[in-house]
Amino acid sequence: MKPIPGAKPVPLGQLVRAQDRLSFIYLEHCVIHRAANAITARDAKGTVHIPAASLGALLLGPGTTVSQQAMVLLAESGSTAVWVGEQGVRYYAHGRSLARSSSLLEAQAAKVSNQRSRLAVARQMYAMRFPGEDTSRLTMQQLRGREGARVRRLYREHAARTGVKWSKRDYQVDDFAAGTPVNQALSAANTSLYGVVHAVIVALGCAPGLGFVHTGHVLSFVFDIADLYKAEIAIPIAFDIAAADVADIGAETRRAVRDHMKGSTFLETCVRDIKALLLDDDQKATEYGPDTFDADVVMLWDDNGRRVAAGTSYGSSDDGYVETDPSYVEIAQWMDEDW
């Protein structure tokens, strides 16, 4: 048998956990290729090698050309490639998940599909933003009101701290440069934050579109999780950049967000917070334990609520079912009676 052409996949044991990875790297106007197990970015200044297995998200901006082998390596490494627009402030598409299990996705889908559990998760999200406040009995309208007042207060406080003139959050989606410097910086900081949060969400195997507070958008859950950290990351960084009067607000803001995350435990915190929101205590201790999410195991669903092994022949030589399994005996009897 001839060997399969192309580079061998990256061994699972060499992949870095989502919480231990680099946050993100933004590239534009370069050619992206592969050299062994590294991504290469080449422009007029030279070539840079980027370890794919330890990268969270690769943000591909305008003027980037990426090879098929580079995308294969990113996919095998569980590194999310996110195509973004000019200045890195528009999302277009993303790559593959790091997760080998659907456990968190199933937990997310179960909670978002039930009104009571969805409200409980939404309250928990707001509680994480309002330390010391009891949100357990507040309606969504009350929670949104408190959040709106909180964000307006933060804008005023940082405007006073930095001396930046502030009136309101105002920006044009199709014209980045039309906004004031601080609004440009806020857009760039938020988008950088969205990129990293998006990378963590898909790395864990969750659905970016199944939001609890936000809804109806393909990135609803990304917006939910990113909102947990805007007060400590995006807003203060944006006002600092606006006060510094830099030439390229978008680039400087992205670098400031990257440097902040590099010196912190942001990825670890983001992973921990997502699991805390989606999993109950008993789930964390049993089938949804820490080793479950990295397990490369395929199971079959059974209508009695359990899982059975895949890759197994459940038929006998006469095309019946294995009689030692009661559930399959019942199915066989039902088929005999009805067919």
Q: 253, 2 in Cβ contact below 8 A?
A: no
Q: 271, 206 in Cβ contact below 8 A?
A: no
Q: Is 147 annotated as a binding residue?
A: yes
Interhelix angle 103-112/115-129, rounded to 10 degrees, is 100
Neighbours of 132 (CB within 10 A): 5
- Strand pairing partners for 30? 64
51 closest CA partner among 73, 71, 26, 82 = 73
Q: Is 174 annotated as a binding residue?
A: no
The three-state secondary structure class of 307 is strand
Q: 32, 41 in Cβ contact below 8 A?
A: yes
Q: Is 214 annotated as a binding residue?
A: yes
b/e 16-38 (16+ beta carbons within 10 angstroms → b): bbbbebbbbbbbbebbbbbeebb
- Secondary structure of 23-43 in HEC code, one letter for each residue: EEEEECCEEEEEECCEEEEEE
| CA angle at 213 for the pair 157 and 261, rounded to the nearest 5° | 55
**Which amino acid is located at 247 in the chain?**
A
What distance separates the 2 farthest-apart alpha carbons in the chain?
A: 82
Known binding residues are 147, 214, 227
Known binding residues for Mn(2+) are 147, 214, 227
